[in-house]
Structure 1
Amino acid sequence: MAETKGSRQAKGISWAQFLARAATVGAAGVAGPAGQARAAQARRGRGLRRRGVVSTVGAGKTPGTAWSARQMRHDIRAIREDLHADTVDVMGDGVERLTKTAVEAAERGLHVWLQPTLGDAPRRDILEHIAETGRFAERLRRQGARVDFSVGCEFWLFVPGILPGETVLERIDNLQNGTVDRPGMQRRLAEFTVRAAKVGRSVFRGNLGYAAAQSIDAREFISADAPHRPDEPRLDLDMASYALTKVIRVRRPDDPASGWHWEPKEAFRAVARRYGAAGHRTSQSQERSEAGRSPVARKRETARSPQALPLAR
């Protein structure tokens, strides 16, 4: 599957990097009252509705951290079997990376939030990237996979022209410096969000959304470009990472071509315990519900199960 022109040109930014940068400018204040209201509503909610984690699928910043289908499959298996997650937010740029990861997750029975986040590219390319990813998400949904589609994340930083600046970092600097027309920014943000939503709805018929950092307690599964350096704490990028795992480079931590592997952090173990317990409770509840249903109803439900259907690649 070919990638869009924009996805080849764009310089990716990970979810963890975005959250760290957005935090410096107070993302909730920029997102506006609607986003703040959603965040407050989420805090008032009770229970654990989804046991999820973010999986970023960028190209990688070095030869050693370039995206790999083999590594992706290893990570998705761990997310399902070791972390006990039932949902994965597949986000990043590159239609082929996004769709291959979404298929792998769906075939393992995970609920997929598919979120293309092409940044620092022409608006036309961003909208094309949304449309191409959305078309695949719709095919996957029609085959029975549990798929929701997000048209993007925090357009005010990722999309050129809403804030002044050629890159995400320049736009953050301008926001911090106060050189921003906020009413104009809100108007441009609303206009592009409407365009993106129309594109998304034109190709996807399931649940459609838009991600805002302040309404999500986000944890990234891995941040391959933030290696752990226990012997040099000042250079330990993992300490600033939101990831549940730490990246250990095989050779020197500063060697961009080095191979690597990940190890679970204590945060991984804590989340896995909670997710595992929640999953056990859910299974018990489903078993009790299933016991009360007729054999005909159970047979009909099995026929509709995503696991009973081949998924397009």
Structure 2
Amino acid sequence: MISRKTFLKSVAGAAAVAGLGGGVAEAAAGGPRRLRGGVAYDTGVLHAAGDPLSRVRWSRRQVKQEIRVVAEGLRCPSITAFGSEIGRLAETTAAALGHGMEVYVQPRLYDHPQGEVLEHLAESARQAERLRDGDDVKFVAGCEHLLFTPGIVPGATFQERIANLGTIPPGEWPKIMERLTDFLARAADVARRNFRGRITYASLGGAEQVDWTLFDIVGIDYYPYFATDAEYTKDLAQYRKWDKPVTVLEFGACTFTGAAQAGGMGWNIVDRDQDPPRIKPGHVRDEREQADHIVRLLRVFGAAGIQGAHVYTFIAPGLPHHPSRPEYDYDMASYGLVKTLRERHHDEESPYRFEPKRSFVAMARHNRGQAGIFTEPARETGQ
């Protein structure tokens, strides 16, 4: 599979060929500020028709427990609620609004025909509008359509499309970008007709050249790695040229040594050809690297004038931690701030409990603006 780094490099070059690049704006004036981080919250994504949602277990009690920890334990000012089932998105949004948080509602429907994706966006937007009170709910018109929506890049599934990226001739990229631009225009129109609040889009960093005049907020999924803060600041400046608020809808790292540099491909350390799947040899669990990376980027985002940032993700029940068998410690491949421990490790329908990782503690301290003692929340049990 092509790496995300290779992908971003190839698409950036193609965008230049297509003449879609833009200028660079200055960083925000007024000096650094502390940006309180939010989280992305996975409600379950539907891949192919007939498949189960990626998050199998779900209950209203469970959602309320987890959102309470996000609000009271992490002190998050906002969340990105993403998923395929509109009822779950509504439950999560209502729970977060009940704690005074701002919500970015982001429907996702992978590998479905474009017409179905747009219909799903429309119904999701209508539901989000019913819950909106002023500016407390924003609507996200999908996620990384270049990869997840058919008809833009060749391939029937997003895995096929990612694999095909490295084989696309440079001359084809302007046509791909034109198809992306056309679909985003239709997605923005659907959002506007069904949602009266502010809208944005979860773009694939600098790889998707988006016409941000279609949206009210510049939204990015941000996974590049730079050795210095100055390099991050320079890279982030490209999103400010539109003179609109910039929100990072996803960023973070998995839980192993080297995960910060692996960025958006950190999940790929699981060998799923084996039964049961195993962590690939050579990877070592490292909660500190994940924690340090998240806090560092929150500091960088604040200094760069980013409006909001959401750590991907609060919890990943499909990647449980195994305390004694590293080869089955799927939490190493998780971006979650908490680790899940299942009663039956390899059973996706098993009840689980979750515990804070170092990243949870570090982010909670950052959001409180303190470096002192942090009292961990009580352990929670998913029902």
**What is the distance in 2 between the residues matched to 1:145 and 1:38?**
29
Partner of 1:273: 365
1:238 Cα deviation after fit: 1.1
Cα 1:62–1:80 shift into 2, 3 Å: same
CA deviations 1:27-86 (Å, max 9, x no partner) are 4753757799799969x9842445310001116868983232221111101000001101
Work out whether 1:130 is the aligned partner of 2:121. Answer: yes
CA deviations 1:259-291 (Å, max 9, x no partner) are 11111100000001111228xxxxxxxxxxxxx
Partner of 1:52: 38
Residues 1-80 of structure 1 aligned to structure 2 (within 5 Å): 23=4, 25-27=6-8, 30=11, 32=15, 46-58=32-44, 65-80=56-71
**What is the distance in 1 between the residues matched to 2:58 and 2:364?**
25
Secondary structure of 2:368's aligned partner: helix
Cα 1:87–1:207 shift into 2, 3 Å: same
Cα 1:144–1:47 shift into 2, 3 Å: same
Work out whether 1:260 is the aligned partner of 2:352. Answer: yes
1:248 Cα deviation after fit: 0.5
Whether contact under 8 Å (2:45, 2:55) holds in the other structure is no
Whether contact under 8 Å (1:28, 1:35) holds in the other structure is no
Whether contact under 8 Å (1:59, 1:67) holds in the other structure is no
1:128 Cα deviation after fit: 1.0
Percent sequence identity over aligned pairs: 39
Cα 1:135–1:256 shift into 2, 3 Å: closer
What's the RMSD between the two structures over aligned residues?
3.1
| Aligned length in residues | 256
**What is the distance in 2 between the residues matched to 1:232 and 1:198?**
50
| Aligned partner (choices 336, 353, 356) of residue 243 of structure 1 | 336
Which letter does structure 2 place at the counterpart of 1:235? Y
Partner of 1:228: 321
Cα 1:62–1:221 shift into 2, 3 Å: same
Whether contact under 8 Å (1:53, 1:88) holds in the other structure is yes
Work out whether 1:101 is the aligned partner of 2:92. Answer: yes
Cα 1:63–1:195 shift into 2, 3 Å: closer
Q: Which has the higher helix share?
A: 1
Work out whether 1:171 is the aligned partner of 2:184. Answer: no
Which letter does structure 2 place at the counterpart of 1:226? L
**What is the distance in 2 between the residues matched to 1:41 and 1:70?**
43
Partner of 2:130: 139
1:184 Cα deviation after fit: 1.8
Q: For structure 1, which runs of at least 5 residues remain unmatched after alignment?
A: 1-19, 279-313
Secondary structure of 1:209's aligned partner: strand
Partner of 2:262: none
| Aligned partner (choices 175, 179, 194) of residue 184 of structure 1 | 175
Work out whether 1:111 is the aligned partner of 2:204. Answer: no
**What is the distance in 1 between the residues matched to 2:356 and 2:22?**
33
Q: For structure 2, which runs of at least 5 residues remain unmatched after alignment?
A: 47-51, 206-219, 221-247, 252-310, 371-383
1:232 Cα deviation after fit: 2.5
Which letter does structure 1 place at the counterpart of 2:43? V
1:111 Cα deviation after fit: 0.5
Whether contact under 8 Å (2:44, 2:54) holds in the other structure is no
1:163 Cα deviation after fit: 0.9
Secondary structure of 1:201's aligned partner: helix
1:179 Cα deviation after fit: 6.5
**TM superposition score normalised by structure 2:** 0.60
1:159 Cα deviation after fit: 0.5
Whether contact under 8 Å (2:39, 2:314) holds in the other structure is yes
**What is the distance in 2 between the residues matched to 1:84 and 1:116?**
24
Which letter does structure 1 place at the counterpart of 2:315? I
